[in-house]
Every structure is written in C-alpha cells, then in structure tokens.
C-alpha cells in the first residue's frame, strides 16, 4: 500500500501536469480538506471553478455540486472522484413529479435549492442556496412558490417571508440525525455556547438556534463572533475546519451521528485515481445545461442587486 505522503506528492505532481485544481466541500474528510486548493460551500465552490485558470476541476463533494461546476464552466473538465457520491436529498425530486406539481400550481414560481440535479434545475425559474433562499423568494413577483426539494429549508423560508410556500417532501437524512433533545442537553452542559444550525435541520432544532447559517456562513461567523464556544448543528466534517481556523474557540458537534456517508466517500486514493485516469467526467447535455444555467444566473443576478 502506498503511504500518505507519496500519494499526496503524486497528486500534486499530477495537478501541475494537468493544470488541475482541487475543490472540496466543508463536509469532506480532513485529509481531503488539507489537500484542497479551495474549501467551501455547494455554490461557492462552483463559482470558484469559474474563476480558476485551470483545465481540470477535481470536485471533492457530491454529484449535484460537480454538475453545477460543469454547468457554469463547460469548457473545463470536471471530475467527481467517486461516482457513487450522490446526494440523497437531491434524488428526492425528479423531473416528472416536478412537472406534475407545476401543473397543479400553474401560477406558482418554481425555486430549487442548489441540491438538485441539472435536469431539475432546468425545470425551475430560479435557484437558491441555504444562505440566500429568503432573499431569492422575496425577490420574486409571484406569491405562490413551489420550493424543491428540502422541506426544512422551505419551512425556514416560509417563516421569514410572506409568500405562500408550497414545499416538496424532501429532506437531508444526515441533518435529520440532529435531535433537539441532544442539543438541549449539550446546551445544559455548555450554557455559554451559541447554537449555530444549518437550515437543513428540522424545525425544532432551528427554533432553539441562535443563528441559522450555510456552511460558509458558519465559517465566517465563527471567526467574527465574540463567543468562545459554539454548538454546531450540521454535518460533522465542518468541525475540522472550524477548529483549525479558530484554535482559541471550542466547537461541539450537534450530533455525532450527523455524518453524510456520501460526503465521506472521497479518499486520497480516490483523488489520485481520479487525476491519473481522468475519472469520473461530469458533463451535462447542452440543452439541459443552458436551461439550468438560466436558473443559476437568475439567482446570481439577485445576489448582485
């Protein structure tokens, strides 16, 4: 078996030869976070891919993220090291059922969370992320909004908007492992800790949280807050980054069970294999790509106004 240092050396060598960059989501294994050129959230990484003067993007994350990068950077080769790294929440909505829902609500706008396939994005009016969902909804002229696929994010948005949100029944199985009872017990043990939750958490967890933030929102907030202790209600992988960037602060995981198996599929060996053998190339059929890009661009436009 090849040792870790020689794997990393080989990865770095191949990166130079192929003019590649490695992007990693905040939930990735720590050894993947350590070799990444950029760490970030679902959409931020795809935007980073656009800015890079690279021929190859190795996307250490899950399927829909690599697809977003391929939608926004069609001239680059986007690789997903693990073919099976799929987001179960994104798989909870498909084109046919969404078309049916649109027929039932012909006057509604359709908003999709970035955690959706390119084909579903192509069926929507506009995308959103966990950090801009409320702004996106409020920017729309329609009052009725079909929101896919996360029912928890939909609920959070509906509480922060006057719009009529028609939720989809999707959810993130990992964030559903985070239980309000466990967080309350932790708060009893650490009364000075702030509770920071991702909006994919269940409503009762969000209700008792001090802040509801995307993963990038969490990394920014952790640096700026005066709090010295935080209970982090999201996938546990982010704790590594939070601790590394804030050695003077203490972070508690909201649940040791909040581990996304799909995010953890990517290994150093997998990244090496991906670069060596140029796999797995993620591409989106042009007709779908153009439509999906409109949904993403409309979102980015709202962000600029």
- The nearer residue to ligand SF4, 108 or 233, going by C-beta atoms, is 233
Question: What x/- string results for residues 116 through 155 when contact with ligand SF4 is judged by CB under 6 A?
Answer: ----------------------------------------
234 is in an annotated binding site: no
**Residue 88 binding: pick among ligand 13P, ligand SF4, none (C-beta 5-8 Å cut-off by kind):** ligand SF4
Q: Which of 262, 266, 274, 295 binds ligand SF4 (CB under 6 A)?
A: 262
- The nearer residue to ligand SF4, 194 or 235, going by C-beta atoms, is 235
Contacts to ligand 13P by CB under 6 A = 26, 41-42, 87, 115, 129-130, 172, 200, 214-215
Q: Which of 195, 263, 288, 296 binds ligand SF4 (CB under 6 A)?
A: 263
- In whole angstroms, what is the distance from residue 106 CA to residue 89 CA? 25
175 is in an annotated binding site: no
Q: Work out whether 115 is an interface residue with ligand SF4 (CB under 6 A).
A: yes
Question: Contact region for ligand SF4 (CB under 6 A) — 48-56, 159-167, 244-252, 259-267?
Answer: 259-267
Question: Contact region for ligand SF4 (CB under 6 A) — 76-84, 118-126, 166-174, 274-282?
Answer: 166-174
| 280: preceding bond cis by omega (within 30 degrees) | yes
| 149: preceding bond cis by omega (within 30 degrees) | yes
- The nearer residue to ligand SF4, 253 or 262, going by C-beta atoms, is 262
Q: How far apart are the first and last CA of the chain?
A: 53
Beta bridge partners of 11: none
Residue 56: name the closest of 268, 280, 263 by CA.
Answer: 280
Contact residues toward ligand SF4 (CB under 6 A) are 62, 87-89, 115, 172-174, 200, 235, 260, 262-263
């Amino acid at each position: 078996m090849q040792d870790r240092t020689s794997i990393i050396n080989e990865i770095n060598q191949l990166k130079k030869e192929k003019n590649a960059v490695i992007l990693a989501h905040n939930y990735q294994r720590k050894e993947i976070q350590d070799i990444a050129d950029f760490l970030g959230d679902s959409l931020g990484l795809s935007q980073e891919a656009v800015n890079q003067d690279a021929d190859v993007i190795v996307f250490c994350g899950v399927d829909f993220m690599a697809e977003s990068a391929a939608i926004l950077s069609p001239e680059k080769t986007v690789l997903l090291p693990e073919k099976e790294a799929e987001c179960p929440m994104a798989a909870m909505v498909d084109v046919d059922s969404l078309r049916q829902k649109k027929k039932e609500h012909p006057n509604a706008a359709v908003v999709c969370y970035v955690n959706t396939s390119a084909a579903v994005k192509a069926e929507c009016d506009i995308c959103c992320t966990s950090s801009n969902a409320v702004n996106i909804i409020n920017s729309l002229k329609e009052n009725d909004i079909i929101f896919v696929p996360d029912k928890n994010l939909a609920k959070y948005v509906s509480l922060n908007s006057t719009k009529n949100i028609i939720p989809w029944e999707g959810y993130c199985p990992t964030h559903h492992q985070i239980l309000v009872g466990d967080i309350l017990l932790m708060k009893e043990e650490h009364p000075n800790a702030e509770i920071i939750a991702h909006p994919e958490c269940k409503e009762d967890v969000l209700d008792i949280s001090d802040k509801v933030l995307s993963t990038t929102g969490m990394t920014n907030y952790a640096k700026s807050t005066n709090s010295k202790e935080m209970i982090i209600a999201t996938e546990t992988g982010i704790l590594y980054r939070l601790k590394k960037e804030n050695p003077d602060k203490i972070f508690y995981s909201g649940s040791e069970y909040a581990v996304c198996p799909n995010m953890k599929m990517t290994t150093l060996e997998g990244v090496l294999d991906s670069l060596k053998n140029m796999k797995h190339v993620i591409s989106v059929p042009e007709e779908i790509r153009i439509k999906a890009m409109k949904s993403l661009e409309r979102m980015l436009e709202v962000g600029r106004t």
